[in-house]
Amino acid sequence: MIDDLLHADRGKRPQHRRTIKAIHEWLVTQHGATGISYSTVRDYVTDRRPILPPPADAFMDHSAHEQRSDAVRQDPRDEACASANDDCPFCLIGAGPDQDIVVFRTGSIFVIPALRQRPANPGQVIVLPVDHVTALHKAGPALLTELFNAVTRITAAMPAAFDAPGSTVFQNNNTPGQSLPHLHIHVVPRFAGDGFVIPGLATEPASRRLRAGIAGRLRQALG
pLDDT for position 74: 36
Question: How does pLDDT run across 39-90, given as a tens digit for each residue?
Answer: 788 778 777 766 665 554 444 443 333 333 343 333 332 332 333 445 788 8
> β-strands 125-129, 109-113: how paired?
antiparallel
Question: CA 73 to CA 16: how far, in whole Å?
Answer: 9
**What ranges do the domains of the chain cover?**
2-87, 92-222
What mean pLDDT do residues 169-176 have? 89
The H-or-E segment that residue 167 falls in is strand 166-171
What mean pLDDT do residues 200-209 have? 83
Residue 42 CA from chain centroid, whole number: 13
pLDDT for residue 136 is more than 60? yes
pLDDT for position 50: 64
pLDDT for position 64: 38
Q: Which residue, 86, 186, 91, 76, is CA-closest to 129?
A: 91
Q: Of all residues in the chain, what percent carry a pLDDT higher than 70?
A: 79
pLDDT for position 216: 97
pLDDT for position 11: 61
Q: Which residue, 178, 204, 16, 9, is CA-closest to 90?
A: 178
What mean pLDDT do residues 118-147 have? 95
Q: Which CATH class is domain 92-222?
A: alpha beta
Question: 13-27, 63-77, 82-96, 120-134: which range is least confident on average?
Answer: 63-77
Name the band, by pLDDT with cuts 50, 70 and 90, for residue 183. Answer: very high
Choose between 28 and 128: higher pLDDT: 128
